[in-house]
Amino acid sequence: MVVATWNVNSIKVRKEQVLEFLKEVGPDLLALQETKVKTEDFPFKPYQEIGYHVVHSGGKGRNGVALLSKVAPKIIKRGFENTSEPESFPDAEERLIGIEVEGFGFASLWVFSVYIPNGGQPESDYYYYKLSFFWQLKEFFEKTFSPEDPIILMGDFNVAPEDKDVFAPGLLEGHICFTEKERRAFFDLLSFGFYDTLREKYPDARGVFTWWDYQFGAFKKNQGMRLDHILITRPLLEKLGDVYVEKSFRTKPKPSDHAPLIAKFLV
DNA sequence: ATGACTGTCTTTGACAGA
C-alpha cells in the first residue's frame, strides 16, 4: 500500500500534475489540500478514467480537501462529527474529509485528508482559531475512534514540529507555523495515538521539507519547512516501509509551493 | 544584475498563503 499527501494550491492549475503523479507513483490513496474549488467544479473525470474513486469537500476559491482511492469508499465523513462545538468551525467541511475502505489486510481502514488553518499572525484571532482547530480535531478522533483502529491522518498541518523541521530555527522562532503553541498543539494531537511516519523512519534527519516559499529562491537553497505529515495509528506502524518527499514535483513549471509526501506500507 | 511569488475573486488591486 502506497499513500501520499499533497497540498496542490489549486487543483485547476495543478490538474495535469496530479494526473502525472498518479501515473508515475500510482498511490493507492492520495490526499489533496487547497483544491480551491467548489465540489461541482472539481475535475473528477481524468482521475476516474485511470481508475480512482474521488471524494471532495470544498468551497469557492479557498481551502478544499479531496481523497483519491483505488478502492471504493464505504463511508465518507466531512468535517467534525460528535464534537463539543462544531458550530465554532464553519469551514471544517472544507478542511477535513475521511473515507472508510476495506483492503490492504484491514476490514476497516479510515483515511483522512486535512488542511489545518494557516493561522495568520501569531496571537491573532485566526491564530487561536488554528489552535482550537487542532483541539477539536483531537476531540473528533477521541469521540469517534480508538487508537487501536487503523487510521491514516494526512495533510497540511501548517506546523513544523521541531527545530530540525525548518531551515533556520533561530530565524523562524515565533514565525507562524513554528511557534511554541502550534508545536504543542501538534504534539497534543499525536497524543491521541498517532505516529509521525517521517520521524518514525528518520528520527534525526535534517533538511527534509515539504514546503518552500515561492519567494527568495527558497527551493533552490532548500530553505523550507516540514508542514505536511502522514500520521498513523499503531496497527499501521508495524507495517510502515519508507517515507519520503517527492521533490521532483517542486521543480516542474508552475509547481505548487508544497511537494508530495509519500509513505509505503508492507501490505 | 546568477534574482524577481502565486493563487483567488469582491478581478486590473487586495488578500491570503506560510
Q: Catalytic residue among A28, A156, A196, A228, which? A: A156
pLDDT digits (tens, 9 = 90+) for A20-67: 999 999 999 999 999 999 999 999 999 999 999 999 999 899 999 999
Residue A266 pLDDT > 90: yes
Interatomic CA–C1' length for residue A252 and nucleotide B7, angstroms? 17
The CA distance from A54 to A257, in Å, is 23
Quick one: three-class SS letters along chain A? CEEEEEECCCHHHHHHHHHHHHHHHCCCEEEEECCCCCHHHCCHHHHHCCCCEEEEECCCCCCCEEEEECCCCCEEEECCCCCCCHHHCCCHHHCEEEEEEEECCEEEEEEEEEECCCCCCCCCHHHHHHHHHHHHHHHHHHHHCCCCCCEEEEEECCCCCCHHHECCHHHHCCCCCCCHHHHHHHHHHHCCCCEEHHHHHCCCCCCCCCEECCCCCCCCCCCEECCEEEEECHHHHCCEEEEEECHHHHCCCCCCCECCEEEEECC
Indicate yes or no: strand B within 7 A of the C-beta of A96: no
Domains of chain A, with CATH numbers? 2-265 (3.60.10.10)
pLDDT band, very low/low/confident/very high, at A86 (cuts 50, 70, 90): confident
pLDDT at A4: 98
Backbone angles phi, psi at A104, to 5 degrees: 55, 30
> pLDDT by residue (tens digit) across A122-167?
999 999 999 999 999 999 999 999 999 999 999 999 999 999 999 9
pLDDT band at A85 (very low <50, low <70, confident <90, very high): confident
Question: Is the per-residue pLDDT at A178 higher than 90?
Answer: yes
Q: Average pLDDT over chain A, rounded to whole?
A: 97
Active site residue A156: yes
For strand B, give the nucleotides within 7 A of a protein CB: 3-9, 16-18
Residues comprising chain A, all counted: 267
| Shortest CA to C1' contact from A59: nucleotide | B8
Q: How distant is C1' of B9 from CA of A113, in Å?
A: 25
Q: Which nucleotide is nearest to A256 (CA to C1')?
A: B6
pLDDT, mean of residues A242-259: 97
Give A88-130 pLDDT, tens digit per residue.
999 999 999 999 999 999 999 999 999 999 999 999 999 999 9
Residue A45's pLDDT is 98
The spacing between the Cα labelled CA in A211 and the C1' in B10, in angstroms, equals 29
CB proximity A128–strand B (7 Å threshold): no
Tell me the average pLDDT across A172-186. 97
Which residue positions of A form the known binding site?
Answer: 7, 34, 156, 158, 257-258
What is the pLDDT averaged over residues A174-201? 98
Nucleotide nearest to A36 (CA to C1'): B8
Q: What is the pTM of this model?
A: 0.97
Question: Which residue do the cell numbers 522562532 mark?
Answer: A173
Q: CB of A34 under 7 A from strand B?
A: yes
- Strand B lies under 7 A from the Cβ of residue A114: no
Cell readout for A90 is 464553519
Q: Is the pLDDT of residue A3 over 90?
A: yes
